[in-house]
Structure 1
């Protein structure tokens, strides 16, 4: 039986060890991300967007808090008082049958007094409460619009960073291929040098070019690491979590899928600010009206005279209405209305300016898409020609009809053409992103 238990325990340990190894292997595996996944992760984990959602939740609670002003308030007050010297009061002596025209000092009360009061207050009419509630509702629209703007801004950053990473990956593949081709050439040249067919400086020229390619590869690697760290921050990933991008050549695909949904949250924000300005003007006008409240209170006083061992309680209760009305405020509300009018003019001017700017940005972005599309076509054609020239020059170099300088020139032209193609793809995608952001449609 002991052997069976030991065997069972051993198997459990092996299973647990295997489970731990699986988990550790899973955590070390790089997470593959496509653009859609990155955007979804940013929507839920990006700290800027999360703060924007917290602003929405906070405003909702502010509305709930403001609504509580309409509910009755119940307060309790307790007071303990010891009169070391009982206060006195001057009264006419005739009040006690004394000589008219003379006065006496009389002490009222006892040394110890305990007072307890509970009071209920209910607002019956307060025009400022309704104004404040409406202002908070409009502020909800403002905060929602700011959330939309934050989402569009972060999505543009995520997509832009993603495309730059894909471009770097493409550029790195070009450089790695160029290094491999250069290594073959150097190997052939070294063999020719050993046979005395060429001088060593010809090989050194290629080695210098190879070192330049290696340096480019390292620079691209460092840039990739920096952009990956930025992407992790944008989408809320752990900085130590390795990632890889989906190899779908997305940078070569247009993102202009749906251009029909056009929204200008910037204009929506200004419109909400305009409505808030109107409500502020109404609220200032409503401040000329009085407010009315109902209140009721119950009080119990307990009085103690220790010297005479005297104790007694006195009850009191009352109901009332309280009217508050500011008849003159030193022209405060009048001046507020003037400020409100200036603010309304500023908002109207800002609406017109923003409309013009958005139309200009949209038009410029569409024009930039056309320009970058043309630039991409030219860059592709240049790459085809550069590859053809390089292959021909390489063949001629192997035949000994051209110098290494010609080969290096052709190689540099090929590298430049490769860089131009990658840059053209990125610039085109960035132009498309700018256009989609201008119409509030980055999805």
Structure 2
């Protein structure tokens, strides 16, 4: 399942291209049906791989969806800042009823000669405003919102990385729980067989009652372990289903966990010295922090420049729809309404804040502090990224070594148990020795399952720390 999209976003100066298991019957209704009405996916009797889990988790993640909306918000803010530099055209209209009971000259011909309105007034106005001097604050606002929009893109990309990691973690934990459940079931079968054999030897007089009780106790311990493994499996599958947006986790069939993905691909661990440089240029969280620092810088400059003088070009055109012909009695001159109903004025307007009781300085101080905070955050993230990369690298190397040791331990444990079983049947060792070797075998298999899951998760975590796409297809 692959969903691929290309999106081109342009902002001033910078261009970005963003691109099988045994069926278990559960009585609990909440376990049998996980309702999720927003689920866009359907996985019915399909083997789920680690790659599928990461892709589905990315698509389903609410954090990724929220980050997408945050990007839309930041783009809108950029559009607002950019368009604020363009001329503004406003229109207004009024319709008034003027009372002649308060002013007797209202509505009279004589009153009109001296500027008194008619009994009704209807006017409309168009006003154009264009900044001339004072564009600097507007331009800096554009730069700040452009940086914020770029930061939102990086945050969206980072949220997708986090979603893929969550899906990978949920899948690997479910796969580990699956293997542990199979190990517990196998251990129970071995314990049941050992008990049957010991009962036969007890009836033949070869074992004491104390030895028989040890095998019975071991069987009960195996049953308890199985119950715990079943519970762990249920919880892990519920978490996985929630992560990838599946209603009923029983429809999920996990891909075989007999071998880790890292083992299957024979993946290689790169040299740590070659990782840092590309990682610092690839990590989305660092890119977002850099853009946030740039936005804070431009916001500071905008705050400072917004208190400089501004000069605007203003043009005003209005019409009085109720204007009538006007005759001046003294001269006998008549002005037609077509000639006097419109007015047009234009000019310039100067604005300059001279004194504001310290408001300006307080805003500037706040903007400076915000810029410094953004710089500290970027510096801290760079430091944390170096630690994260080093830690994930060492964890991956350790996981490889632990897996190699776990594989050998399982082989040794199996050999020891086979020898102990043969010696027990010949009466050379005690029941305690046989049970101990059986438990050692179970423990070794459980450690192997954990080691395989831990290795895959360490591999994914290492990819996450270096800023590359989390995938098993590398």
Same fold by TM-score greater than 0.5: yes
* Deviation at residue 34 of structure 1 after TM alignment: 0.7
Bigger CA drift: 216-225 or 235-244? 235-244
2:393 counterpart of 1:366: yes
More helix by share: 1
**Cα distance, 1:138 vs structure 2:** 0.8
CA distance in 2, matches of 1:362, 1:109: 80
Q: Could you tell me which residue of structure 2 aligns to residue 116 of structure 1? A: 123
Shift of 1:181: 2.0
Q: Closer, same or farther in 2 for the Cα pair 1:286/1:146, shift >3 Å?
A: same
Contact 1:47/1:236 (8 A) holds in 2? no
Cα drift, residue 33 of structure 1 = 1.0
Distance 1:63 1:370 in 2: 45
Per the alignment, in what secondary structure is the counterpart of residue 322 of structure 2?
Answer: strand
Q: 1:222 aligned to 227, 231, 234, which one?
A: 231
Q: 2:75 aligns with which of 55, 60, 66?
A: 60
CA spacing shift, 1:47–1:239, aligned 2, 3 Å: farther
SS in 2 for 1:401: coil
> Deviation string for 1:380-434 (max 9, x for gaps)?
3332222222111112222233222222111222222222222333333333333
Give the Cα–Cα distance (whole angstroms) in 2 for the partners of residues 209 and 63 of structure 1: 69
Stretches of structure 1 lacking an aligned partner (at least 5 in a row)? 1-26, 90-106, 305-311
- For 1:297, the equivalent position in structure 2 comes to 317
Counterpart position of 1:398? 425
Q: Which residue of 1 aligns with 2:254?
A: 245
State the partner residue of 1:5. none
Cα contact 2:389–2:466 (8 A) shared by 1: yes
Q: Is residue 248 of structure 2 the alignment partner of residue 232 of structure 1?
A: no
Counterpart position of 2:13: none
Task: Give the alignment partner of residue 316 of structure 1, picking from 326, 342, 346.
Answer: 342
Partners of 1:264 and 1:380 in 2: CA distance: 35
* CA-CA distance at 1:290 after TM superposition: 0.2
Pairing 1:153–2:179 present: no
Query: Is 1:167 equivalent to 2:167 in the alignment?
Result: no
Give the whole-Å Cα distance in 1 for the aligned partners of 2:312 and 2:369.
32
Aligned to 2:57: 42
Indicate how the Cα distance of structure 1 residues 52 and 241 shifts in structure 2: closer, same or farther if over 3 A, else same. Answer: farther
Unaligned runs of at least 5 residues, structure 2: 1-41, 106-113, 325-335
The 2-side partners of 1:163 and 1:240 are apart by 15
Partner Cα separation in structure 1 for residue 216 and residue 88 of structure 2: 87
The structural deviation recorded for 1:257 is: 6.0
TM-score (norm 1): 0.78
Report what 2:382 is aligned to.
Answer: 355
TM-score by length of 2: 0.74
Instruction: State the distance in 1 between where 2:190 and 2:415 align.
Output: 15
**Contact persistence 1:166–1:249 (CA under 8 A):** no
Write the distance in 1 (CA, Å) between the matches of 2:269 and 2:360: 50
Whether the aligned pair in 2 keeps the contact of 1:86 and 1:110 (CA below 8 Å) is no
* 2:93 counterpart residue number: 77
Greater shift, 400-409 or 195-204, is seen at 195-204
Instruction: After TM superposition, give the deviation of residue 320 of structure 1 in Å.
Output: 1.9
Residue in structure 2 matched with residue 138 of structure 1 by the alignment: 147
Shift of 1:175: 2.0
Q: 1:233 & 1:265 partners in 2: Cα distance?
A: 25
> Following the alignment from structure 1 to structure 2, what is the Cα–Cα distance between the partners of residues 71 and 239?
57
The reply to whether residue 267 of structure 1 matches residue 294 of structure 2 is no
